[in-house]
Amino acid sequence: EEIRVFCPATIANLSCGFDVLGVALDAVGDEMIVRKTDTKGIQITKITGQDLPLATEKNVAGVAGLALLDKSDYKGGFEIEIHKKIKPGSGIGSSAASSAGTVWAMNYLLGKPFSLSELVEFAMQGEKLASDVAHADNVAPALFGGFTLVRGYNPLDVVPLPSPKELYATVIHPQIEIKTSDSRKILKTNITLQKGIKQWGNLAGLVAGLFKNDYDLIGRSLEDHVVEPIRSILIPGFDDIKTRSLESGALGCGISGSGPSIFALSKGKNIAQRVAQAMTQVYEAIDVEFDVHVSPIN
Ligand code: HSE
């Protein structure tokens, strides 16, 4: 018995929601095949597309899978094949896709004994291996689809949010790798009350905009006063890409997850494609190699 699953890439943070907001991309992701076996434990049998460890304890998929097995009374095991399309260290939830895909597929094959929120907790163990911190803002949208809010971590409280129909994401990935663990180390641990007020105003505004289908409100709220000023220094051409994206009609633009990918949200596919062209021109002008994607969000 086996299942083939699509594991979506995700944009975490979405500017104002550091560690709490994320969205799944419908058109960008990995594929996995997960099959039941009689041998206990998790075996990663094949990885294509990237050079990643096959050893269960060293692979985020293996670690997430073991977390599920630990809470299950199933006596057998699973074999996993991972076909990576999302590059590790790109900022669009590569590790989350593998962790989330594994536990979703295992749960399906076991007859769905666990809730989506429980699956998020298992998948977070994979994130812990990848970035030292068990953040859920990539794995939650990868499992629930669409936008999710992690209202709280202790206990975990994931709130799925609505996705306005015409919202499209553009994501450009300059071909450098930034480890989430490294880009977390450079952050300050305190923020001023003034910055806090701006940030939670925007976060609430963005969530309200999603519920009201209010694209202008979504656009006004896509700002980050806390993390972007620090992390953007690591990303080539960030300021130009942001300026050009907004000039091309994007509602907002910021760092995807811990970078280096940069995302923009737009109303309608045409604008999202125009934004992709504008981003492309910036990197072509400064000779930075890149991948660019336009994806619906649902
Ligand atoms: N919230 C995490 C961070 C996401 O920004 O460090 C990492 O993908």
Does ligand 1 lie within 6 Å of residue 35's CB atom?
no
List the residue whose alpha carbon is closest to atom 3 of ligand 1: 258
- DSSP classification of residue 144: H
Low-confidence residues of the chain: pLDDT under 70:
none
∠ CA 31-35-39, rounded to 5°? 140
- Indicate which residue of 10, 121, 127, 148 is catalytic: 127
Supply the ipTM of this predicted assembly.
Answer: 0.98
Beta carbon of 137 within 6 Å of any ligand 1 atom: yes
Q: What is the pTM of this model?
A: 0.96
SS3 helix, strand, coil % of the chain, rounded to 5?
40, 25, 35
pLDDT value of position 286: 95
Q: Say how far apart CA 74 and CA 7 lie, in whole Å.
A: 24
CB of 202 shorter than 6 A to ligand 1: no
User: What pLDDT score was predicted for residue 179?
Assistant: 87
188-199 pLDDT, tens digit each: 999 999 999 999
Distance 68 CA to ligand 1 centre (A): 23
* 157 membership: H or E segment, kind and range: strand 156-161
| Residue 127: active-site member | yes
Interval between CA 230 and ligand 1 midpoint (Å): 14
Distance CA 35, CA 146 (A): 27
